[in-house]
Amino acid sequence: MASDQPDNSQILDDKNPDKAEEYFKTKEEAKTFRADLRELKEEHENTKEIDELAEKLKKLRSEVNNDENIRILSDKISTLRERMGLLRDIIKMQLIEAEEKEVKRDGRILKIVQVLKEMKEEK
């Protein structure tokens, strides 16, 4: 189990110019800490009671979600979210074609933004 927490001076050290390498090392440390935390929680004396309550809660949620009125409204919401996703894709394509970055309506903005996303390398 990992017990040493790096201090902020190590984390923010500018002696390592490869920030991508530092990012992946930090991510691996966090993964180790999460595994240790999961293990500690599993060993805790209250875990069995929590699991029993969680199972009861799951059954109650299922009963609520199976109510006809709730199911109908949930389906409508799901359909609207799907439509909004399709509309976002269409708007994005229109903005790219028009070489625009954003569209404004009624004090709200839809904007194309750049995102740094971690992915697995394809082989």
Classify residue 65: in a domain, yes or no: yes
**Structural contact between residues 91 and 101, judged by C-beta atoms closer than 8 angstroms:** no
Q: 37 lies in a domain?
A: yes
Q: Is residue 39 part of a domain?
A: yes
Residue found under tokens 């805790």:
44
pLDDT category of residue 11 using cuts at 50, 70 and 90: low
Question: Is the Cβ–Cβ distance between 112 and 102 less than 8 Å?
Answer: yes
- Spatial separation of the C-alpha atoms in residues 51 and 82, rounded to whole Å: 34
Cβ atoms of residues 59 and 66 within 8 Å: no
Nearest to 110 by CA among 123, 101, 122, 118: 101
Is residue 6 over pLDDT 70?
A: no
Domain extent, residue 77, equals 17-111
Look-up: residue for tokens 């920030």?
19
Give the pLDDT confidence of 44-97 residue by residue, as tens digits: 999 999 999 999 999 999 999 999 999 999 999 999 999 999 999 999 999 999
Whole-number average pLDDT of the chain: 89
User: Does some domain include residue 48?
Assistant: yes
Model's pTM, two decimal places? 0.56
**41 is a domain residue:** yes
**Based on the structure, what is the number of domains in the chain?**
1
